[in-house]
Amino acid sequence: MTPPLPATNESPRSARDAFRQLLPTLWQFRWRVGLSLACLVIAKLANIGVPLLLRNIIDALDSKTALIAVPGLLLAGYGVLRLSSVMFGQLRDIFFERVSQRAMRSAGISTFRHLHGLSLRFHLQRHTGGVSRDIERGTRGIYNILGYAIFNIIPTLLEITLVTILLLRQFDWRFATITLATMVVYIAFTVIITNWRTRIVRQMNETDAAANARAIDSLLNYETVKYFGNEEFEAQRYDANLRRYEDASVQSESSLGLLNGAQSLVIAGGLTVLMWMAAQGVVGGKLSLGDLVMVNTLLLQLSIPLNFLGVTYRQIKSGLVDMERMFRLLNEQSEIADKPGAPDLATRGAEVRFEAVQFSYEAERTILHHVDFTIAPGQTVAVVGTTGAGKSTLARLLFRFYDVSGGRILIDGQDIREVTQQSLRRAIGIVPQDTVLFNDSIYYNIAYGRPDATREEVHAAARAAHIHDFILSLPEGYESTVGERGLKLSGGEKQRVAIARTVLKNPAILIFDEATSALDTRTEKIIQAELAEVARERTTLIIAHRLSTIVDADQILVMEHGRIVERGHHRDLLAQSGVYAALWKMQQTEKKTEALYDVSV
């Protein structure tokens, strides 16, 4: 199960991290940001101008002072201001949309690249579905923060400032004081309740990510679920996560109702007091009817951004909560990193040497003990042993998914820790036991070995793997999709795709990690012949379970409990009557038993 990320309260550092992440994008599109802000200011000025002009229109219509031309001009101006407020608001959104989308894109690709740069240990401890949801929420949080901060916080503060100044100039200080007091109380209620709600929102995110991860994990293992008839078991586990999300969602909605109610109460109270004061002024002859309408319109207009201010604060807080998880992913340090200025691996003959290699996944449990062997250029070395002997760990260390705890691994005399990981992995090709394919076309999966390869090169690789004719027999040929993890293909067909992909990569070093152990005997022999053809004149490491597949290896290493206990050619090892000979005898007995069973059936 995915270890939950620790819940942390959003801090100023989170906000700083967010805006520091956004600054490069804002600077890149500074002219768009400038135009958007200019449109914003014009729209707000036009919005504030509407109540002023409305007051003049009403006062101009007074029977004692009305003139025919004046109301007409004022009404035309009123229409222009209304139109300008809406038009410049739309222009603001149009100019800024590219900025918001680019910020989301930049954050998403940065996180994606960072995740691919993290060590294998990190990915083995995570549910892919949960990580995917964290990225999705984080990028959406960036979009929300940009939109709400620039287009709601700034214009709201601007409009509040303009309204306050206007009330001070047009009326006595009490109007401005009550307006400011209303805003302070409103903001205080918003901050206090929203901070309480943040914990609930974070809990919702945690449970949502857990439910999503559980669903993806279960669907990816569809066949296993079916094999054991555990559909209802999986549904109950998924429902348990959904139930926790349901409870958190109900809490969130209830707290939202409380917040909205408190905000409405504050706004209604402030509006009532101000309108009562304005009405008193009209009755006392100190204010005109136009003044009363202007105060009412100003306050109604002010209540709109005040309402959005509450929504904005909630969205920014929620966005920061969403971004916390993404930033924590970005703050994850890779266990394996290139040294500064590391050169590319220079392969000549592609000699591989393990020198006194020790390794442990955990400090208290050592996997490999002083492993020493050399694969000469163009030779094939096979590693055999019981499950858990450390065979597959050799391949992971050679790819540098982990660094050795002691000793070193050399390729043509170069310590693989001293060269770039990209050049190292470019020099190595692998055909694994469990070939996992992308849910795309066969052509895409073969071309993945070298994405810049021509179509002719892809076809040549397929011919080398003896799968070209099979592909052409399919209705859609090379464009046929392989399904999730290649489930539309048989085991042998998947292995041939993997072989073709490796042939196309054309590596100097090959690793066959029990590449045929999951196949039937007939298919295994066919694939084995193809692997031997691919490995010709290449430095090859074979990790094998079935000894019959490696009898022609130049050297066979026998491992037990992380140590090499025997080494030599097939015949020499049989003559020693040791561990290898015992394994060979056991497998030959099993083979005879299977043959007898097949005949009897």
What pLDDT, in 10s, does the model give residues 389-407? 888 889 989 989 889 989 9
Give residue 34's identity as a one-letter amino acid code: G
Is the residue at 580 inside a domain?
Answer: yes
**Same-domain status, 199 and 310:** yes
Round the CA-based radius of gyration of the chain to a whole number and report it.
35
Q: How confident is the model at residue 352 (pLDDT cuts 50, 70, 90)?
A: very high
What confidence score (pLDDT) does residue 10 get?
A: 43
Is the residue at 452 inside a domain?
Answer: yes
Task: Please state, in angstroms and as integers, the Cα–Cα distance from residue 477 to each residue in 89, 361, 463, 470, following that order.
Answer: 52, 43, 14, 9
**Same-domain status, 499 and 531:** no
Domain range for 548 is 345-427+507-601
pTM of the model: 0.63
**Range from 216-225, 252-261, 438-447, 510-519 that averages highest in pLDDT:** 438-447
What pLDDT, in 10s, does the model give residues 208-236? 877 887 888 888 788 778 877 888 888 88
Instruction: Strands of 483-530 (E only): list them.
Output: 509-513
**Same-domain status, 186 and 65:** yes
* DSSP code string of 15-47: HHHHHHHHHHHHHHTHHHHHHHHHHHHHHHHHH
**Same-domain status, 352 and 290:** no
**Same-domain status, 480 and 469:** yes
Beta-carbon contacts of 399 under 8 Å, excluding residues fewer than 6 positions away, are 424, 425, 428, 430, 511
What confidence score (pLDDT) does residue 568 get?
A: 92
Quick count: other Cβ atoms within 10 Å of Cβ 488?
Answer: 16
**Same-domain status, 546 and 421:** yes
**Same-domain status, 392 and 441:** no
**Same-domain status, 501 and 512:** no
Distance CA 148, CA 318 (A): 11
Among 506, 540, 562, where does a domain finish?
506
- 159 close to 127: Cβ distance less than 8 angstroms: no
Among 479, 506, 533, where does a domain finish?
506
Is the residue at 7 inside a domain?
Answer: no
Asked whether residue 411 carries a pLDDT value surpassing 80, the answer given is yes
What confidence score (pLDDT) does residue 565 get?
A: 93
Is the residue at 5 inside a domain?
Answer: no
Beta-carbon contacts of 413 under 8 Å, excluding residues fewer than 6 positions away, are 351
We report the CATH number of the domain holding residue 287 as: 1.20.1560.10
Give the rounded distance of the alpha carbon of 67 from its chain centre.
66
**Same-domain status, 403 and 470:** no
**Same-domain status, 414 and 494:** no
**Same-domain status, 524 and 386:** yes
**Same-domain status, 481 and 537:** no
Among 506, 533, 562, where does a domain finish?
506
Distance CA 20, CA 105 (A): 16
Low-confidence winner among 92-101, 303-312, 475-484, 539-548 (lowest mean pLDDT) = 303-312
Beta strand pairing status for 563-568 and 555-560? Answer: antiparallel
Is the residue at 339 inside a domain?
Answer: no
Q: How many structural domains are present in the chain? A: 3
We report the CATH number of the domain holding residue 474 as: 3.40.50.300
Is the residue at 11 inside a domain?
Answer: no
Asked whether residue 422 carries a pLDDT value surpassing 80, the answer given is yes
Instruction: Strands of 139-264 (E only): list them.
Output: none
Is the residue at 366 inside a domain?
Answer: yes
Place of tokens 């200011």: 41
Distance CA 95, CA 181 (A): 35
Is the residue at 337 inside a domain?
Answer: no
